[in-house]
Amino acid sequence: MINVTSRQTAASMDKAMEGGWKQGTYLFSADDTCALPRFTWDGITAETFNNLVELSLPFLVVNTEPMHSVLRKLFTRENTDKLFSTVDLLTGHIPYGEVFGLYGGMATGKEMLEYIDGLWKKYAFTARQWEKQGGRAMLGDEPPLYIFDSSILQETFNKSGSGFPYPLPGFLPEWRKQVHQFIWGPPGSGSPVHYHCPALNIMAYGRKRWTLYPPASAHYSTVHPLHVRTRPQTPRYKPEPLACVQYAGEMLFIPKHWAHSTVNIDQAIGIAVEFDLPFC
């Protein structure tokens, strides 16, 4: 395990939002808090990983350059437009909202770019203006749309079974059933509390705020995190949830049965890989 100094620097912010994506913040303070153990890509072994899984501990991997460099090239704004401009992507105010009887639909990559550009004009995603203009308006409205698609990466890159263009870390065991999910949303988009099989999440661009609930306090919700923060009657959970801000180029691993909610602090784009194991 390593001791990582503060990541909240102008350099890290600029690096997080290169690739043609606009930079902006959400009303949460953009601190670098992360209560999880941290490792480097080369510093975590298969044995260490297996121990963490047995202990059911989430963790953060920093300096994921072998994987991150591929994702940064793959998901620039220009290349995202080329890849998905005319492709239908699963979208909703929460991921897979249609499963819960909520809004779920399709949008092409072009439509999503136009939607996000429209939000920038409407809400002015800056730290000073958000609460005054955009935050209150959006908190009283539907949350931003969020693309969370579990089939498009397979159809785009691995239809022939030749494999995905990005490497997975060597410490992962050979879990055969993998669901590669494409994640893309504006500031304020995110996921309500939920849990599933083990998964890893890596950001190509942007930052994401996580709230993680240990298995003893895991639960499901369809309430978007934006709205949870405005409700003083939100129940308290024990053990207390953990908080972590994930930066571009960092990978967060979530063991099975750890519930979690997320909010994208910046415009965020990346992937999640869920491992479909027995007894999840």
| Within a domain: 23 | no
Question: Residue 137 corresponds to which tokens in the numbers above?
Answer: 């308006």
- Can you give the pLDDT of all 280 residues of the chain as single tens digits? 554 444 544 344 444 458 998 766 554 555 667 899 999 998 899 999 999 999 999 999 998 988 999 999 999 999 999 999 999 999 998 887 777 777 789 999 999 999 988 887 776 555 455 445 444 445 456 788 999 999 999 999 988 777 899 998 888 877 667 899 999 998 889 999 999 999 999 999 999 999 999 999 999 888 888 776 544 445 566 678 899 999 999 999 999 999 999 999 888 999 999 987 777 7
Per-residue burial over 204-234, b if 16 or more Cβ lie within 10 Å, else e, is bbbbbbbbbbbeebbeebeebbbeeeeeeee
Backbone angles phi, psi at 262, to 5 degrees: -140, 150
CATH number of the domain residue 218 falls in: 2.60.120.650
For residue 251, the surrounding DSSP H or E stretch is: strand 251-254
Q: How many domains does the chain have?
A: 1
| Within a domain: 102 | yes
Cis (ω within 30 of 0) for the bond into 239? Answer: yes
Structural domain boundaries, residue 241? 34-275
| Within a domain: 21 | no
Q: Are 192 and 231 in contact (CB under 8 A)?
A: no
| Within a domain: 1 | no
| Within a domain: 9 | no
Residue 155, sorted as left (phi over 0), alpha (psi -120 to 50) or beta, turns out to be alpha
Q: Facing residues of 146 across strands?
A: 92
| Within a domain: 68 | yes
| Within a domain: 165 | yes
Q: Are 167 and 180 in contact (CB under 8 A)?
A: no
| Within a domain: 90 | yes
